[in-house]
Structure 1
Amino acid sequence: MELLSSGVALQTVPEKYIFPAHKRPAKELVDSSVALPVIDLRGGRLQGDGRDEIVREIVDAGKQFGFFQVVNHGVPEQLIEHMVGVSEELFNMPVEEKAKYYSDDPSIICRLGSSTPYDQNGIRYWRDYLKLVCYPVEEFMHLWPQKPDKFREVLAKYIVEVRELADKLLRLIAEGLGLEQDYFSGGFSGGQTQMNVNYYPPCPDPSLTLGLLPHCDRHLITLLVQGTAARGLQAKFEGKWIPVEPIRNAFVVNFGHQLEIITNGVLRSVEHRAVTNTSVARLSIASLIMPKTDCLIAPAKSLINEHNPPKYKSFTFEEFLSAYNAAAANREGVLEYFKIEE
């Protein structure tokens, strides 16, 4: 078992985590003057005069950034804090307890691991993770970690609230694009909801390594909580990386490849990555809203015409996952499989 959260504080970065000089984070420009939009959902009560404004803000953010943050979203703040708390407890458990959940087998529904499947030439990423399928709750709850003691109870409540928020956001997005409000329900968002709980321990030299590779998400939409005050998540904007500021109990929302393809490029799926820091461990909890594997993905018919022809051919989500893995999560590499030649 190989975990960074083993309880041993490393004084130097081991060779296998050191990236070639041209791939290190310091070699790319970071622009701290640009901030993602922060959208107030008014407690999740999305009716009345303010609804049109919220819809416009979400669609504008999707067109410009592919990312935004939401506050006053209706998910209880105490529940978010409990979810962050039990997740931190899990990574701080003794090694022998964590060993029960460790596996390198990607087919296992709930597993603890390290780095990513997309290691570059054997170079590892500075990240431990818990990956699990978490929705429908009754189908998968028995497979979740039994420790910490409250983990299953808290996660069961948390993911139901997050799913409800995701459904609200998808209805607002559909409305803003002139689609039927339930356009993204059914197969587009009806697959198994996955969760990545990411843990980035303090790194002796963050200039040498990365916590997570630059990538776009393979699914429909991601709702992510940043659990500490430490910066780490960065999104690509106009050729530079911009830090995604941690906002207490906010959700970072980003669009996956499927949403870009379904909207025929109107909304953007944007590269993002995680960098490390020397002082504190950073935790994030990403909930991944997935299509069903047999769902047919294609640009929405009402968004294409003779002046805006389809940019992508149709495919099943299962076919997309195969291409995504073959391209090692590279944005342009995976989209090349499905682009229609002009």
Structure 2
Amino acid sequence: MAAAAANAPTIPVLDLGPYLAGAPGAAEATAAQLRHICETIGFLFIVNHGVPAGLVAETFEAAARFHALPLERKLAVKVNPVLQGYMPLRGSTTRTSNLSTGNKPNENEAFFIKRRGEDAGAADRWPEDLPGFRATALRYYDAMDALAQRLLPLYAAALDLPADYFAPLCDDPLTGLRLTHYPPAAYGANEYGIAPHSDSSFITLLAQNKVPGLQVRTPEGAWIDAPVVPDSFVVNTGDILHRWSNGRFISTPHRAFNTSGGPRYAIPYFFHPNPDTLIDCLPSCAVFGEAPRYEAMTVEQYMAWFRGQNYDHVRKANAA
């Protein structure tokens, strides 16, 4: 595992308490902080977010129970082309980042959950005889959905847009919850728990992990460890918001390892706008006299490309 840089910048902490309580001036002040963070590092911790700590703990425990199942039971709900179900160990290879090339398959396994009606087959992608697993995962999913929607007005204000700008573009969002297991490993060349990458999302919400292993790349190129901030979520800008903001908000590369000697679990939630939302340069992010930096495309088009690059079963299906 590569060491993080000493004396590197820290990941900022944003207190959502005043904003969520409706304190006078809190929305404007919090949006200003968020703007600065998203334009300089793209990663932050949020605290006082309103998600019960007990629910987070239950979801980590549910992830551990699923991954403790025998392999044949997990393979009974093997992942489908739209990323629902179980992805075996080394089932993905990071190819969408130019930070590291020749990556070997990622040293993790995961259970993917999605809740959109278009994702036919979701009903048969739940494990049998695992009491409480589905109910816990969906309660957590509900909490993440609600938190993401509460954050949208902040992101709009941070981008100098009306508070409700994103509401009609994200009222049927493409979301996903991933319950990931990183087994302990000794990493060789080009080996990672998950290789350096940026997320495809508008934003990603990652519950605080008691077992460290996440590293974030600063704009200066240093890798820094994400510390343990109790009862927090790591929030990062994804590629879709980066493209939508014409590069103004940074989609920060990150990577993960597990050298703890024991299992490490992660429960990231990915929030994307509606599949048919066109990701084109936001009006507040256009530069006079310059063309947008990125080609316009819908969320669905971008996600199809992203899945085809990184997930081996999707690549094989596309090549067939």
TM tier, smaller: 0.7 to 0.9
Aligned to 2:113: 132
What secondary structure is seen at the aligned counterpart in 2 of 1:234? strand
The 5 Å alignment of 1:92-241 reads 92-103=68-79, 105-107=80-82, 109-118=84-93, 123-134=104-115, 140=122, 143-188=125-170, 190-203=172-185, 205-206=186-187, 208=189, 209-227=191-209, 229-237=210-218, 238-241=220-223
Look up the equivalent residue of 2:21 and give its one-letter code.
R
Q: CA deviation at 1:307?
A: 6.0
Q: Would you say the 8 A contact 1:174–1:182 is kept in 2?
A: yes
Look up the equivalent residue of 1:235 and give its one-letter code.
V
**Gapped regions of structure 2 (runs ≥ 5):** 95-100, 312-320
Farther-moved stretch of structure 1 (237-246 vs 177-186): 177-186
What secondary structure is seen at the aligned counterpart in 2 of 1:196? strand
In structure 2, the CA distance between the partners of 1:141 and 1:254, relative to structure 1 (3 Å rule), is farther
In structure 2, the CA distance between the partners of 1:135 and 1:207, relative to structure 1 (3 Å rule), is same
In structure 2, the CA distance between the partners of 1:248 and 1:240, relative to structure 1 (3 Å rule), is same
Aligned to 2:16: 41
How far does the alpha carbon of each residue in 1:59-118 deviate from its partner, in whole angstroms, 9 at most, with x for none?
A: 111111111111110011111111111111111223343232234x43463234222432
Q: CA deviation at 1:48?
A: 2.0
Q: CA deviation at 1:219?
A: 2.2
In structure 2, the CA distance between the partners of 1:294 and 1:220, relative to structure 1 (3 Å rule), is same
Q: Would you say the 8 A contact 2:93–2:104 is kept in 1?
A: no
Q: Would you say the 8 A contact 1:69–1:253 is kept in 2?
A: yes
In structure 2, the CA distance between the partners of 1:32 and 1:85, relative to structure 1 (3 Å rule), is farther
* Distance (whole Å) between structure 1 residues aligned to residue 4 and residue 259 of structure 2: 17
For residue 65 of structure 2, the aligned residue among 89, 99, 103 is 89
Aligned to 1:10: none
2:280 corresponds to 1:298: yes
Q: Taking structure 1 as the reference length, what is the TM-score of the superposition?
A: 0.78
Look up the equivalent residue of 1:73 and give its one-letter code.
H
* Distance (whole Å) between structure 2 residues aligned to residue 171 and residue 146 of structure 1: 39
For residue 250 of structure 1, the aligned residue among 210, 232, 237 is 232
What secondary structure is seen at the aligned counterpart in 2 of 1:149? coil
Q: CA RMSD in A?
A: 2.8
Look up the equivalent residue of 1:78 and give its one-letter code.
G
Q: Would you say the 8 A contact 2:84–2:111 is kept in 1?
A: no
Aligned-residue sequence identity (percent) comes to 26
Q: Would you say the 8 A contact 2:201–2:270 is kept in 1?
A: yes
Look up the equivalent residue of 1:232 and give its one-letter code.
G
Q: CA deviation at 1:247?
A: 2.4
Look up the equivalent residue of 2:214 and give its one-letter code.
L
2:262 corresponds to 1:286: no
Aligned to 1:66: 42
Aligned to 2:33: 57
How far does the alpha carbon of each residue in 1:239-288 deviate from its partner, in whole angstroms, 9 at most, with x for none?
A: 11111123233111111111111112221111111122042211111111
In structure 2, the CA distance between the partners of 1:33 and 1:284, relative to structure 1 (3 Å rule), is same
How far does the alpha carbon of each residue in 1:103-144 deviate from its partner, in whole angstroms, 9 at most, with x for none?
A: 4x43463234222432676832211111121457xx956743
How many residues were matched structurally? 300
* Distance (whole Å) between structure 1 residues aligned to residue 13 and residue 123 of structure 2: 33
What secondary structure is seen at the aligned counterpart in 2 of 1:289? strand
Look up the equivalent residue of 2:84 and give its one-letter code.
I
